[in-house]
Structure 1
């Protein structure tokens, strides 16, 4: 068995950053979605739980987005330029949503609870921007996977919607929103249980089950649409990624089952694993293409010296960042005496 080439090592690092951003940053966006849907007598308590859950760690998750963008720009400049040009509109909207979300969260969290009108305004900005960013990121990913972005066939021009407002792209965009909502709901059940707020945990448990079911339906619809909308992705899945797709479905069932029976820590483990397998199966299905059907991983990679320096720099950075992030989460999130197989009280 041959060793992976340098371009595939770099793209694997980039894909790892994508998975980490989806698993951790996605939960932050999902929390904004549930903040928008907070209703009833527990509304204020839900706002407070979301603030406590996000407060210490939300900005940390942008580290993975930096890894992703810098890695793609440095290692694969031609496809990066093509994607950034053709999908300029949805990617810009996603960026605006990310900026507004972070700003609104800070403004609404620090000192605004006493000023109800300002709190409501910034809460709406926080929630709506949390919907915008995952939707347009998922939509952009579907546009790339669809094989309609042509590279090397004349100058790249910003697309006004014919590539990224298709039924397939809209379905994957909605699925991305539901994935974030499911991640957040499961994370918040753990957070509420750790704080002995069992009523809140039960509320988010039900929301997690509902959003997870909707995500699964959208995933099946996306698979069906990919048969015609993303044929290269479909055939790649059948040829060499079908075990990952089956594993993703089974892991999703495990996540739903453990959440249903209130094994919240196990549910959190399985939803993170499902996110990793979901994105991993997309990446493997698309091999050897980076931007199908014209750009492969090997043909679009930068100079070997650049890739080698990138791998070295990222390796050094991860040696610093991973222990630091672990320590941050350990300080703010880890509770003593909680076991993985412990069933939470209803």
Structure 2
């Protein structure tokens, strides 16, 4: 049961990396869109594309946390004790990001829109970076039971590299999805705009991955060996093939299929990390079996997880499907009760 729950955790992390990562990537491009006039069209598309699903994507993060503290309490305690600072910064960024996105659209004052937009965009960059540094610190073996919080746990070469990879991967996903969204909304001028950015982001992912080979040689040797051999290597190769397929589809302007291949490339990479790290949840100090909670707790967790998959899974799939097909209607000012006031647009 512990091994099953561990793989459910990996799948949940992959789902959050793909679903939430796409939204983080959209926020990243919002940050780089330029000034109010220059960035007006890209930000308009980002608002419309994210609106139907951005809140639902955080369901995966909650799922990850519940599985961690219920199924692997020892791991949960060790990670949150050693990594409380980057995790707190990521949580603050998550809250500020949601508040900025929610408040920017109904606000009519230009100055306030800029403030909310900046909060949303900057948080979309910082949150995946800090989450990536946590994963990097775990992969490097810097988190053990009893480890006290320190900058070395997350401000090291491997952590920074994984943080940057997380940002680049989310930027890649966001740009790929926005290409298709631009086509769907009839914003033909933005299709090539985000197509170019998707190609640049993919190039950044490749460069960072190559840099990671020497960086992780001595710093995260166990996980690195797992990624360069066995099932981990196979999944990395498949992820690379899916990434290259995404580039080819973008080059040929086949934007519908590029969504699936880009998601597959990120999900397979997360799966490769899961294989590379086994049988440990904290390399190389805590195995899955050692970190597992009580047997009766795991049994109930399996039951609840199965029920959640049956009840929530189809609803999320339907939501994503309707969103990508443009079947969900946008909220109007009347729905949000946003009304003009004297001094609007100032």
* TM-score, normalised relative to structure 2: 0.91
Equivalent residue number for residue 47 of structure 1: 43
For residues 125-159 of structure 1, the C-alpha deviation after alignment (integer angstroms, 9 at most, x for no partner) is: 000000110000011100000012222xxx43111
* Matching of residues 1-346 of structure 1 within 5 Å: 6-39=1-34, 43-110=39-106, 112=107, 114-151=108-145, 155-159=146-150, 161-240=151-230, 241-334=232-325
What displacement does 1:326 show?
2.3
Q: Distance in 2 between matches of 1:178 and 1:10?
A: 29
What displacement does 1:335 show?
5.2
What displacement does 1:55 show?
0.7
Give unmatched runs, 5+ long, in structure 1.
1-5, 337-346
Aligned with 2:115: secondary structure?
Answer: helix
Q: Distance in 2 between matches of 1:13 and 1:277?
A: 14
What displacement does 1:269 show?
0.8
Q: CA RMSD in A?
A: 1.4
Q: Distance in 2 between matches of 1:239 and 1:186?
A: 30
What displacement does 1:223 show?
2.8
What displacement does 1:52 show?
0.5
Q: Distance in 2 between matches of 1:104 and 1:335?
A: 24
Q: Distance in 2 between matches of 1:171 and 1:23?
A: 19
What displacement does 1:314 show?
1.0
What displacement does 1:328 show?
2.1
What displacement does 1:189 show?
0.5
Q: Distance in 1 between matches of 2:93 and 2:176?
A: 23
What displacement does 1:333 show?
2.6
Q: Distance in 1 between matches of 2:227 and 2:202?
A: 22
Say if 1:172 and 1:219, in contact at 8 Å, map to a contact too.
no
Give unmatched runs, 5+ long, in structure 2.
328-346
Q: Distance in 1 between matches of 2:291 and 2:234?
A: 28
Of 300-309 and 67-76, deviating more is 300-309
Q: Distance in 2 between matches of 1:205 and 1:186?
A: 7
Q: Distance in 1 between matches of 2:219 and 2:311?
A: 42
* TM-score, normalised relative to structure 1: 0.91
Q: Distance in 2 between matches of 1:207 and 1:133?
A: 20
What displacement does 1:42 show?
5.1
For residues 138-181 of structure 1, the C-alpha deviation after alignment (integer angstroms, 9 at most, x for no partner) is: 11100000012222xxx43111x112111221111011001111
Aligned with 1:58: secondary structure?
Answer: coil
Q: Distance in 1 between matches of 2:324 and 2:285?
A: 45
